[in-house]
Chains A and B, each alone.
Chain A
Amino acid sequence: MQNTKLEVKNLQISFSHEGSQVNAVRDVSFTLGQEKLAIVGESGSGKSTVGRSLLKLHPKNATVEAEKLLFGDIDLLNASEKTMRDIRGRRISMIMQDPKYSLNPVMKVGDQIAEAYLAHYKVSKKIAQEKALIMLEKVQIRDPKRVYSLYPHEVSGGMGQRVMIAMMLIPEPEIIIADEPTSALDVSVQRQVLNLLDELISERNIGLIFISHDLDLVRNYCDRVLVMYAGRVVESIKASELENAQHPYTQGLLKAPPRIGDIRNRLPTLERDPSWLYN
């Protein structure tokens, strides 16, 4: 792992609500180089919260603290809103879960891609449109001209997710945070979208943070896996060694889903040990 793109040390995130405080993320540390890092865990484990904190997308009632939150040599923790605006989308971008909800329903998909480029580069509309068409071709859309002028409801889920990838890649970011980018898609389309994302990020030396709850998917797709439980990282492990995961929570997650040809009569469920919260 050469040249560290991102360094996070002891990240703590809490939300205050009517006087009470909820600690959503505690003591999370990791570094990201030019690699594919997965953050996995159940719903509510804080994985998306970590992703969002890197772009400071949290509402006012959130408190984000960390010993270190470095992006290159920029301290994200103390960065001004202006600096953040230059980073968001331009240098770190985020692919959301569901293209149905994340695309603007009343704007042509091509214009949405061009808009992403225009927001960060001072070019004419025409050049941005040309860029968007090239980008649509890059994400393997067969007839970019036709698709450019479609509205989100006219494209399929897989195509919508490709549009979103195009939109996130067009400003040429250094890091992409993908928050469950394929969980709204069919298995067959899922694979195409992942392969595409993989090609594009290795071509452009992008670091990827892949947020998912699917350990099976992550083990073949990513290089390294952080397993989160109740806001903490319980295990950090190379994806290829996931088989030998030590933590009972990781083992439980690995055993839970039924697989084709499964002869188990009952599926093991997770026994949550309260002591997991104290290490």
Chain B
Amino acid sequence: MNMINIEGLDLSFGTGANESKILHDVNIQIQAGESFGLVGESGSGKTTVLRCLAGQYNHWSGQLSVNGNRLLHKLDKKRCIDMQMVFQDPYGSLHPRHSIETALAEPLKIHKIDNRDERISAILKKVGLDDSFRYRSPHQLSGGQRQRVAIARALILEPKILLLDEPTSALDVSVQAEILNLLKDLKEKEGLTYLMVTHDLGVVTYLCDRIAVMQNGHIVETISSVNLANHGASEPYTRMLLDCCYHTETTQSSEALSA
């Protein structure tokens, strides 16, 4: 059974002459325990797909189902328990005047889950922070620590799916490595399913098994990471993205070849 099933997802903004279509017939099937990546330029619609799943947009058409349940246009609590999201900018996604404890307790309060104290301790430990972080405010934390808190907040409801919206693009490469390692460990331990949006092909091939390439609201190609790394991409757009990424790696070797 597919953990996430997206069939014929369409979305447009505006009406009449001003209508602009953002997503065109997007189809994605993700199995339980799989990591799936969405790549493409800004404006290609990759974050919009996540937002439809997360219930931030609800005027989509098509069929969405998560964990076997058909999603309605209205957001329900069940969906939130199944699926949580981690945002791009850890500086913007935590309330600046709430302590880490308050931030982590909020989802528990909303869903009326008890044993909050133990749950918060456990989740902090899971993301590699100790109990002393509880009473700190976000401004006392580094970018990497904040992103750990954001991941903890997403995981505290014990979801099956994490939607990751460029989780490391605001971080330094050294901190990015820590967060990617953490995400990889968590996935193995908890059996999570990831749907990650990024424009960094290095990151996506590291973490994801399969990748969909998006351009102007269409999925132009779905390809496995292994295939992508072995130059198996058939779409010119995918190759163009690869070229842009590879120029750092291969210019030297191609120069050496031509010399």
Chain A nearest CB, measured from B95 CB (Å): 22
Report Cα–Cα, A214/B200, bound state, in Å. Answer: 13
The interface residues of chain B, by DSSP majority, are classed as helix
Chain A nearest CB, measured from B230 CB (Å): 7
Given A260-B229, A262-B205, are A187 and B177 also a contact pair (CB < 8 Å)?
no
Q: Once the chains bind, are A213 and B173 in contact (CB under 8 Å)?
A: yes
Q: Answer yes or no: A219 CB below 8 A from chain B CBs.
A: yes
Residue from A157, A187, A256, A266 in contact with B173 in the complex, judged by beta carbons closer than 8 Å: A256
Interface string of A176-193 (1 = CB under 8 A from B): 000000000011111100
Q: Once the chains bind, are A187 and B205 in contact (CB under 8 Å)?
A: no
Q: Answer yes or no: A127 CB below 8 A from chain B CBs.
A: no
Report Cα–Cα, A213/B42, bound state, in Å. Answer: 21
Which residue of A has the minimal Cβ distance to B40?
A: A186
Report Cα–Cα, A271/B144, bound state, in Å. Answer: 15
Residues of chain A within 8 A (CB-CB) of B201 are: 187, 260
Which one of B15-23, B62-70, B153-161, B246-254 is at the interface? B246-254
Which residue of B has the minimal Cβ distance to A259?
A: B202
Given A188-B241, A220-B248, are A267 and B143 also a contact pair (CB < 8 Å)?
no
Q: Once the chains bind, are A220 and B247 in contact (CB under 8 Å)?
A: yes
Q: Once the chains bind, are B177 and A257 in contact (CB under 8 Å)?
A: yes
Q: Which of B83-126 contact A (CB under 8 A)?
A: none
Report Cα–Cα, A265/B185, bound state, in Å. Answer: 10
Number of A residues contacting the other chain (C-beta, 8 Å)? 31
Report Cα–Cα, A181/B251, bound state, in Å. Answer: 21
Report Cα–Cα, A215/B229, bound state, in Å. Answer: 21
Which residue of A has the minimal Cβ distance to B244?
A: A187
Report Cα–Cα, A260/B242, bound state, in Å. Answer: 9
Q: Once the chains bind, are B248 and A188 in contact (CB under 8 Å)?
A: no
Give the bracket for the number of chain B residues in contact with chain A: 35 or more
Report Cα–Cα, A214/B249, bound state, in Å. Answer: 13
Chain A nearest CB, measured from B256 CB (Å): 12
Report Cα–Cα, A252/B203, bound state, in Å. Answer: 17
Q: Answer yes or no: A67 CB below 8 A from chain B CBs.
A: no
Q: Once the chains bind, are A217 and B202 in contact (CB under 8 Å)?
A: no
Residues of chain A within 8 A (CB-CB) of B207 are: 258
28 A-B contacts, Cβ less than 8 Å apart? A42-B174, A157-B42, A186-B41, A188-B244, A189-B41, A190-B244, A191-B244, A191-B247, A213-B173, A216-B248, A216-B249, A219-B248, A220-B247, A220-B248, A253-B173, A256-B176, A257-B173, A257-B203, A258-B180, A258-B203, A258-B205, A259-B202, A260-B246, A265-B184, A266-B181, A267-B181, A269-B178, A269-B181
Beyond known contacts A186-B42, A220-B248: 9 more, CB 8 A cutoff? A186-B41, A187-B244, A188-B241, A220-B247, A253-B174, A261-B205, A261-B230, A262-B206, A267-B177
